[in-house]
Amino acid sequence: MRFCRTRRSDSTLFPRKKVSVIGAGHVGATVAFLTAQKELADVVLVDVVPGVPQGKALDMYEASPIQGYDVAFHGSNDYKDTANSDLVIVTAGVARKPGMSRDDLLSTNVKIVAEVVREVVRHSPDCILLVVTNPLDAMVYTAKQVSGFPRERVIGMAGVLDSARMRSFIAEALDVSIEDVSAFVLGGHGDTMVPMVRYATVAGIPVSDMLPPERLQEIVQRTAQGGAEIVQLLKTGSAFYAPGAAVVEMAEAILKDKKRILPCAAYLEGEYGVDGYFMGVPCKLGGAGMECVIELDLTTEEQAALERSLDSVRRLVRQVDALEHF
């Protein structure tokens, strides 16, 4: 019996999308696995530790007959294997430990992200960058400065995760299906984030009609502290399942050109009165990346909260600009 064997990489009739995930820790591995389960693209997993990305990539590939996905995996310590990626997801960096804020990671992670982005751009100059490393607003700013990419191709993951946390807390409080809850968060990815209670709904019904103000305020506070709550419970690391799922929701919108409206850290050029900073805002995500910023009419109170969040982002950016290695 003869069998036609064609190398996957030789096929040009039906080219596969390629996603490279930089950082094979908990978040990166979760992203790689979920990307494969959705069959969004072939996956390259890169890490500086020899054997780790190779072993995790092989493990995920060996799960494919059981899970029923058909994608190629490749683990590597060399950025040349990321060449010609459509989407590069940056998760590399030091994770939070109990007692640390996202901001405490800044000096270490700026250096890591800058080095990663230089290598990625050298091998995939046309890719879209999706940054996950904390402190998010400063790291995605670093990625844009180093890459020189237009704002459409440098995006930060924060709002999808923060919104998911808010949605889950609302569903828990009301004992309703998570599928019926809609909510989103504006501002920086930190304690000053701005959960938009006015836009939160359950099956189209405003949450403010279903929960008392004091309960809603508890949910707002818990949303802002959602990452810290998990860090305190884990003791030795930070969240990775929800962040990984949030990244893949954004990746799917980009790779499938779905034109989804999702809250993302976008580089603002006058929107919301902000110029030259990344902030969490509703965006249209599609094949070109961040294709459009959706501007909302904010109340005086919401605008003031957004300004406070922007002050926090400005402080982080000043620290980034002051670092010698940047």
Reply yes or no: is the peptide bond before residue 206 cis, omega within 30 of 0: no
CB-based contacts of 132, cutoff 8 Å, min separation 6:
27, 31, 89, 90, 91, 156, 157, 243, 247
The CA distance from 86 to 240, in Å, is: 23
First to last CA, the chain: 59
Q: Tell me, yes or no, if 74 is annotated catalytic.
A: no
Among the options 26, 74, 123, 189, which is catalytic? 189
Residues 160/189, Cβ–Cβ less than 8 Å: no
The CA distance from 47 to 50, in Å, is: 8
User: What is each CA distance from 224 to 134, 181, 206, 227, 230, in whole angstroms?
Assistant: 15, 18, 20, 8, 12
The CA distance from 23 to 132, in Å, is: 10
Residues identified as active-site: 189
